[in-house]
Structure 1
Amino acid sequence: MNTGSHYKLYHFIPWTRVKIYKMLLLSIVPTCLFYFLEWKWLAIPWVPVALLGTATAFISGFKNTQTYNRTWEARQIYGAIINNSRAFGIAIRDFIRSDDKAEQANLHKEMMYRHFAWLTALRFQLREVKSWENVKTKSYNREYLKYYKVPEWESSLDEELKFFLTVEELEYILSTKNRATQIIALQSSKLKKMNEESKISDFNFVALENHLKELYDQQGKCERIKNFPYPRQFSSINLYFTNSLCFLLPLGFIGEFSKMTEKFGENIIWLTIPFSVLLGWVFLVLEQIGESTENPFEGNANDIPITQISRNIEIDLREMLGEKDLPAGIQPVNNIIL
């Protein structure tokens, strides 16, 4: 997530420079052929360009709206995780009781630390790279990684989980495929045991199990977004329309400027290049922005800041435990926070 007022041009232009090079090539070649070799047939009417531009604008707007909706839904899901985590922390603190206060405090800590483990396992799963994601497959995204770090790619899951789970639990969790799912299953088993030991009443046991169900629901929603890409047919048609328009733009501008040569001279044809580059850049960047928004957990600079959110939840719950030595909040680097 970018925390600045906007992307600076010295970040944005290099990120999109490949598009600029592409439009320069597509506009310079036909303009030179028209001007020097007098290939007059390269000039086409503006009407087909305008019709294709309208279709391209429509499909680009549709894609950007839908990819934004994916990102906003992901943020809403993590907002629900924040709220449910706080409610779960309060319920643990107030529902789990023991005559032995030290044992009670240990039970509270064990349950909350296991919840931290769930948050950690979930964010590591969401940052796993999928074949359709773009951060590591697109050169401009790989270059942009120099401005920020993805925490889940800089550390390992077992190193982070060892602070929250016992040795036996850690060994078991690492042997499973869906670690986040099995951590909640461990929570449920522990709650059942405490209910059998009368440390939790039946009513409170049901209430805490409902909290675990909510966490499962939110995890499942995250997995749905992570594991189901923006439909490839819509992504493909947007790419084809945009590239077709960028190919025809210079030809259309040549046609328009060629009509003005008698009044302004033949050199006016060279205006085809800057106008084509500018207009083509707009459409190509719209497509690239939609692409960078469609996978909100991939490690992109525009991702949902799940690492920061998880750390804030951890701080809140540690304070509920009465801890004073709290981890520091995660701060933006170059206005980017994950």
Structure 2
Amino acid sequence: MHSGKRFGALEFAVWTKRSIYILTLLSAIPTVLYYCGWTFLSFPWQPIAIMGTAVAFIVGFKNNASYSRLWEARQIYGAIINDSRSFGYILRDSLSGKNPEKVKEMFLRHYAWLTALRFQLRESRPWENMDTAQFEEYAQKYEVPEKVNKLDKELESYLSGEELHYILSKKNRATQLIACQSRELSEIYNKGEINDFQWSQINQQLVKFTDNQGKAERIKNFPYPRNFSSITTYLLLLFIVFVPFGLLKEFDKLGDNTFFEGFTVWFNIPFSLLVTWCFYTLDSVGEASVNPFEGSPNDVPITQISRTIEIDMRDMLDESDLPPAITPTNNIIL
């Protein structure tokens, strides 16, 4: 997540510099050929304008869908924050007088669940964008903790050696940690340490965690539909290629009967670049937000949220040695 007021103009220029080079070349080639006498390369601008309208609609649709996925992901983690706090004080107040060590153990297992979940959500998928040159270069401005650190090392501080070995042997570690919490809760209930109402309250929180995990996994594992993504790419590519051809004659006529006659066609390069860059960048912005857990600068900050939850829950137990809050690096916080 970008925590500054805005992405700077220079950041946008650097982020899109490869596209600027390509778009400048695509604008320059027909202009040079037209100036050299290949005037038949000029196309009527009207069909291209109609194509541009279609591209604008479909790019706008994609951006709306991308924002919806991003906002839903943020709502899911907002629910995890609230449910974690509720889980913490309900468990503490139900059990601390009878078995404070078990409270601490279940708190630690919850931190482990948050850790395992964020590592799972940061795993790469074939349709994500972080392995492209454009995103890889920008990613040098910050670090994705789940790409730098190891899951087993982070879980060591939360789980016993036996439980850690058991969890690491599973495919979906986050799910199995919730299952361990449920088993632990059943044992506590069977021993009579909590009553029916307390068991029901705590169990409801575990169900909510499972529900929110499933929602996050749905966004992670189901990409923006490939048919919509593909048609957007193809229409945008056609529009970018044809725009310089559609503006050739218009800029050439701009200098008629003036001192600049015959030279105004060169305006085709910067203006075609500007138009195509706007459309391409709008599409890139949508593409940068469509996968909200991949580790891009527009991601939901699940690492920071998980740390905030851990700090709040440790504070509930009056612990003094709290972990530090995660702060932005170059205005990027994950």
Normalising by structure 2, what TM-score?
A: 0.98
Runs of 4+, deviation exceeding 2 Å: 258-264
2:268 maps to which of 268, 272, 275: 272
Write the mapping of 1:167-316 to structure 2, written as runs, cut at 5 A: 167-264=161-258, 265-316=261-312
1:336: which partner in 2?
332
1:262: Cα distance to partner? 2.2
Gaps of 5+ in 1: none
2:15: which partner in 1?
15
For residues 57 and 44 of structure 2, the distance between their equivalents in structure 1, rounded to whole angstroms, comes to 21
1:327 maps to which of 306, 323, 326: 323
Structure 1 position 130 matched with structure 2 position 125: yes
Contact 2:252 2:263 in 1 (8 A): no
2:134 maps to which of 133, 136, 140: 140
1:54: which partner in 2?
53
For residues 40 and 154 of structure 1, the distance between their equivalents in structure 2, rounded to whole angstroms, comes to 55
Mark the CA change 1:269 to 1:172 in structure 2 (over 3 Å): closer, same or farther.
same
For residues 140 and 97 of structure 2, the distance between their equivalents in structure 1, rounded to whole angstroms, comes to 51
Gaps of 5+ in 2: none
1:98: Cα distance to partner? 4.6
1:14: Cα distance to partner? 1.1
For each residue in 1:265-319, what CA deviation from the matched residue of structure 2 results, as whole angstroms up to 9, or x when unmatched? 0100000000000111000101111111100000101100000000000000000
1:9: Cα distance to partner? 2.2
> Secondary structure at the residue paired with 1:266?
coil
1:241: Cα distance to partner? 1.1
Mark the CA change 1:54 to 1:215 in structure 2 (over 3 Å): closer, same or farther.
same
> Secondary structure at the residue paired with 1:107?
helix
1:207: Cα distance to partner? 1.2
1:97: Cα distance to partner? 4.7
1:24: which partner in 2?
24
For each residue in 1:191-241, what CA deviation from the matched residue of structure 2 results, as whole angstroms up to 9, or x when unmatched? 000011111112211111111000000000000000000001111111111
Letter in 1 for 2:34: F
Contact 1:45 1:256 in 2 (8 A): no
Q: In the comparison of the two structures, how many residue pairs are matched?
A: 332
Contact 1:98 1:199 in 2 (8 A): no
1:115: which partner in 2?
110
2:3: which partner in 1?
3
Contact 1:308 1:329 in 2 (8 A): yes
For each residue in 1:166-213, what CA deviation from the matched residue of structure 2 results, as whole angstroms up to 9, or x when unmatched? 111101000000000000000000000001111111221111111100
2:151: which partner in 1?
157
Letter in 1 for 2:216: C
1:18: Cα distance to partner? 1.2
> Secondary structure at the residue paired with 2:115?
helix
Letter in 2 for 1:142: E
> Secondary structure at the residue paired with 2:224?
coil
Contact 1:27 1:276 in 2 (8 A): yes
Q: CA RMSD in A?
A: 0.9
Letter in 2 for 1:250: P
Letter in 1 for 2:108: Y
Contact 1:135 1:298 in 2 (8 A): yes
